[in-house]
């Protein structure tokens, strides 16, 4: 059995894996080499390097392990037709991403950009408006695994959490949960609005200028899900008209965000380059998910952790 | 009875106070006016505007309510001689300060300074080393009310907390507590070292270059207590020699830190202008502490909240 990695883990991570599964023929490359695909049984990939042709070449392929949470760049139709199992590292983003989100919120509340700016100018300046996170209300749109971790941490900061999901059924670490079609009624309630939505037909352009008008003037809006939730044009209008206090974006309709795009220039936005899930512990953690899944797979049980519905998109 | 405020709360905070205590003669000034002191019974002050002469002038003074946690700038000897009660707003700093501290830690772990810098240059750059807070160990030196709140939040982030206090008795939200004279044994254990110590004879110059050599190379050191814990000269040597990963300072041996001081210029330090306890809700909260204390006082019970030992310094 051949397992082909289109990523190359550090030696201290790779070696224990190889020795734990001596029966497996492992191949590790820094990027995808088409000539390796024909006899590959299991493919381990970041998920952005695959196209229809690759799936056709991979005649023996039965399982794709995606070292990422998003799978929208994958050739979903082809994979589904072939009945190839897809699983990912969903849980892995939970902690680093939730930490990034809390970092951005606290940074704004406690005026860290102001501190950094004044330090550049060697200026002792106390004239900032420092506010507090505790006591506020947060709306988490799409409270899945990451949203739950965000909710857990926000509740530790005594924040009241409202979740919006498809069903409206109670979600973990949410004080209240509503259906996503109740969005407009919930938007005015929150000082902090966080989207963790994946990219699907339903979520594309879900938010518009009109929705931002429903938000509080002191609101912070954060998009850490997928960039097509709201168009860049709408975001620029919202920023120009100062409808809300601040926006923190990690994802964009177009990525990378072009260097000459207006969005970079506003004071009321933080432009993070879609890396808030990054972590020096990322591959280590991926392998911690992969290993037990591989054991299960080898025993004939294909019900591995984080199985995805590739057509549904999550 | 006259209560003299050397600060002037917003009307929406002042008016309810005045109407709640109709028997009191309230005077509110933006700064201290000596001519008001002779007939003042209770003084409400930020604590930095008083000297020996003011205490002598305040012949009727029985209680000083300090709208601050630090009292080291007060004429302690004179106040003690006269037996004037001093109480402060100790609890008030807890939440904003703990939020500032977690903000700084997460900002460094999740590379926010890198994000802000690249945004200034309109540069989409993912090449930062993002690390994680969860799973690390923090040493909290002086785990009082604020330290406990920091411990509580750090534990929510799955951080192991070690407290150092005078007695070594278990402190709230600390996984372990040791005596402060065991400092040198504890320093190598932690990725995060936070001093919340007040300024006393014992804490002055408690830390030196040699102590920083005991810390881990990847450690973050934070001083949010008082600046005389370690001299500016020692700090500069530590930064020059890159003994640790980063320092976050809110307090300094000399404040304000002079504009031409070397300290501003290092990449491995964050210079915060002693304002991490500031909050748009500060005076509101102070009055929430003052009002019940005043009721108690008026009823003849002088055992008010947060009574201080002015000579001991806390």
| Average pLDDT of the residues in B282-286 | 90
- DSSP letters, A145-198, are HHHHHHHHHHHHTT-EEEEEESS----TT-SEEEEGGGHHHHGGG-SEEEE---
pLDDT of residue A91: 80
- Give the separation between CA A175 and CA A138, rounded to whole angstroms: 10
B133 inside 8 A of chain A by CB = yes
Q: E strands, chain A, where? A: 2-5, 25-28, 42-45, 63-66, 85-88, 137-141, 160-165, 176-179, 192-195, 220-223, 246-249, 269-271
Q: Comparing A309 with B111, which gets the higher pLDDT?
A: B111
- Sign (positive or negative) of CA dihedral B245, B146, B160, A67: negative
State yes or no: pLDDT of A310 exceeds 90: no
Query: In this complex, is the C-beta atom of B102 within 8 Å of any C-beta atom belonging to chain A?
Result: yes
Across the A:B interface, residue pairs with CB atoms under 8 Å apart total 145
Whether the predicted pLDDT of A10 surpasses 90: yes
Distance set, CA B98 to CA A307, B92, B133, B146, B308 (Å): 40, 11, 15, 7, 22
Q: How far is CA A178 from CA A68, A189, B177, in A?
A: 28, 13, 43
User: What's the pLDDT band for A201 if we cut at 50, 70, 90?
Assistant: very high
pLDDT category, B100, cuts 50, 70, 90?
A: very high
Task: Give the distance from residue B270's alpha carbon to the nearest chain A alpha carbon, in angstroms.
Answer: 7
CA distance A239 to A244: 8
Cα–Cα distance measured from residue B64 to residue A81, given in angstroms and rounded to the nearest whole number: 78
Strand order in the sheet with A85-88: A25-28, A2-5, A42-45, A63-66, A85-88
The share of chain A scoring above pLDDT 90, in percent, equals 90
The pair of structure tokens assigned to B217 is 């190379």
Q: Out of A2-6, A161-165, B93-97, pick the least confident.
A: B93-97
The confidence score (pLDDT) of residue A145 equals 87
C-alpha separations of A215 from A140, A146, A150, A191, A253 in Å? 14, 23, 20, 8, 21
Which band of pLDDT confidence, cut at 50, 70 and 90, is reported for residue A35?
very high
What's the token pair of residue B58? 């305040």
Cα–Cα distance, B136 to B191 (Å, whole number): 6
Amino acid B313: pLDDT? 73
Region B117-144 average pLDDT: 96
Residue of A nearest to B251 (CA): A124
Alpha carbons A234 and A207: distance in angstroms, whole number: 9
* pLDDT tens, residue by residue, A280-298: 988 998 999 999 999 999 9
Q: A262 and chain B: CB distance < 8 Å anywhere?
A: no
Chain A touched by B38 (CB under 8 Å) = no
Candidates A312, A307, A313, A311; CA nearest to A77 is A311
pLDDT surpasses 80 at B127: yes
Contact B126 A257 (CB under 8 A): no
CA–CA distance, B53 with B72 (Å, rounded to integer): 17
Query: Chain A contacts of B98, Cβ < 8 Å?
Result: none
- Chain A residues whose CB is inside 8 A of the B95 CB are 132, 134
Does the structure show a pLDDT above 80 at B29? Answer: yes
Helical packing angle, A11-20 and A282-298, nearest 10°: 10
With beta carbons under 8 A apart, name residues in chain B contacting A131. 279-281
pLDDT of A191 reads 98
**Burial status of residue A33 (CB atoms within 10 A of its CB: 0-12, 13-18, 19 or more):** exposed
Does residue B60 have a pLDDT over 80? yes
Which pLDDT belongs to residue A83?
95
pLDDT tops 90 at residue A163 = yes
Structure confidence at residue A141 as a pLDDT band (50, 70, 90): very high
Statement: residue A137 has pLDDT above 80: yes
Q: Tell me if B152 and A157 make a contact (CB, 8 A cut-off).
A: no
Whether the CB of B257 is below 8 Å from some CB of chain A: the reply is: yes
Q: What is the mean pLDDT of residues A64-92?
A: 90
DSSP state of A102: H
Q: How would residue B104 be classed by pLDDT, with cut points 50, 70 and 90?
A: very high
Calculate the dihedral angle through the C-alpha atoms of B15, B20, B23, B27, rounding to the nearest 10 degrees: -30
B176-228, pLDDT tens digit by residue?
999 999 999 999 999 999 999 999 999 999 999 999 999 999 999 999 999 99
The average confidence (pLDDT) of chain A is 95
Do the chains contact at B273 and A110, CB–CB below 8 Å?
no
Q: What is the ipTM of this complex?
A: 0.83
β A192-195/A220-223 pair status? parallel
pLDDT exceeds cutoff 90 at B311: no
Reported as a single tens digit per residue, the pLDDT across A173-190 is 999 999 999 999 999 999
> How far does Cα A54 stand from its chain's mean position?
25
Residues B8-30: what's their mean pLDDT? 96
- Cβ of A126 within 8 Å of Cβ of B99? The answer is no
Q: Is the pLDDT of residue B90 over 90?
A: no
In the predicted model, is pLDDT for residue A69 greater than 80?
no
Residue A260, SS3 per DSSP: coil
Eight-class DSSP state of A139 = E
Nearest to B196 by CA among B100, B306, B303: B100
Measuring CA to CA, which residue among B21, B17, B63 is closest to residue B40? Answer: B63
The token pair that represents A223 in the structure block: 């998009």
Whether B303 and chain A come into contact, CB under 8 Å, resolves to no
Of A102, A116, A256, the CB nearest to B124: A256
Q: What residue has token string 């003669």?
A: B25
Kindly report, residue by residue over A212-261, the tens digit of the pLDDT. 999 999 999 999 999 999 999 999 999 999 999 999 999 999 999 999 99
Q: For the residues B122-151, what does the mean pLDDT come to? A: 95
**A126 touching B, CB under 8 A?**
yes
**Cβ atoms B236, B264 nearer than 8 A:** no
Collapsed DSSP state (helix, strand, coil) of residue A87? strand
**Residue B93 confidence class, pLDDT cut points 50, 70, 90:** confident
State chain A's maximal CA–CA distance in angstroms.
65
Domains and CATH numbers, chain B: 2-92+280-298 (3.40.50.720), 132-271 (3.40.50.720)
Ramachandran angles phi, psi of B233, nearest 5°:
-60, -45
Q: How close B92 gets to chain A, by Cα (Å)?
A: 12
Give A-chain residues touching B110 at CB under 8 angstroms: 96, 99-100, 103, 276
Contacts of B152 in chain A (CB under 8 A): 156
**For residue B283, pLDDT beyond 80:** yes
Looking at the complex, report in whole angstroms how far the Cα of residue A237 sits from the nearest Cα belonging to chain B.
19
Which of A156-160, B68-72, B140-144 is most confident?
A156-160
Query: Of B260, B270, B281, which has the smallest distance from its Cβ to A132's Cβ?
Result: B281
Q: Determine contact, residues B225/B142, Cβ cutoff 8 Å.
A: yes
Instruction: Nearest by CB to A264, from B122, B255, B264: name it.
Output: B122
pLDDT in tens, B65-81: 999 877 788 999 999 99
Q: Does B58 score more than 80 pLDDT?
A: yes
Whole-number average pLDDT of chain B: 95
List the one residue out of A249, A206, A200 whose CA is nearest residue A224.
A249
Which chain A residues are Cβ-neighbours of B273 within 8 angstroms?
A: 115, 118, 124-126
Question: Among B103, B259, B273, whose Cβ lies nearest the Cβ of A112?
Answer: B103
Cis amide bond preceding A256, omega within 30: yes
3-state secondary structure of B65: strand
> For testing the chain B interface, which of A68, A95, A99 should be mutated: the one with the most B CBs within 10 Å?
A99
């Amino acid at each position: 059995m051949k397992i082909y990695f289109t990523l190359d883990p550090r030696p201290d991570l790779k070696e224990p894996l190889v020795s734990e599964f001596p029966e497996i023929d492992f191949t590790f490359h820094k990027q995808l080499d088409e000539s390796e695909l024909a006899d590959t049984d299991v493919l381990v990939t970041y998920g952005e390097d695959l196209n229809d042709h690759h799936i056709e070449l991979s005649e023996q392929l039965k399982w794709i392990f995606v070292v990422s949470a998003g799978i929208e760049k994958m050739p979903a139709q082809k994979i589904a037709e072939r009945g190839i199992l897809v699983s990912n590292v969903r849980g892995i983003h939970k902690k680093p991403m939730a930490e990034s989100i809390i970092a951005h919120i606290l940074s704004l509340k406690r005026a860290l950009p102001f501190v950094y700016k004044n330090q550049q100018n060697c200026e002792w300046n106390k004239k900032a408006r420092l506010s507090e996170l505790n006591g506020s209300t947060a709306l988490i749109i799409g409270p899945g695994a990451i949203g739950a971790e965000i909710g857990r941490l926000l509740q530790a900061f005594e924040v009241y959490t409202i979740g919006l999901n498809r069903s409206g059924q109670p979600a973990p670490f949410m004080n209240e949960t509503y259906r996503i079609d109740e969005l407009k009624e919930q938007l005015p309630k929150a000082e902090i609005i966080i989207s963790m939505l994946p990219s699907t037909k339903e979520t594309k352009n879900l938010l518009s200028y009109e929705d931002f008008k429903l938000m509080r003037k002191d609101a912070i809006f954060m998009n850490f899900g997928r960039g097509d939730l709201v168009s860049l044009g709408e975001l620029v209008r919202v920023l120009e008209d100062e409808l809300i206090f601040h926006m923190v974006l990690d994802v964009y309709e177009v990525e990378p965000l072009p260097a000459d795009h207006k969005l970079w220039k506003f004071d009321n936005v933080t432009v993070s380059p879609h890396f808030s899930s990054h972590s020096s512990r990322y591959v280590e953690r991926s392998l911690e998910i992969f290993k037990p899944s591989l054991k299960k797979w080898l025993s004939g049980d294909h019900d591995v952790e984080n199985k995805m519905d590739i057509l549904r998109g999550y």
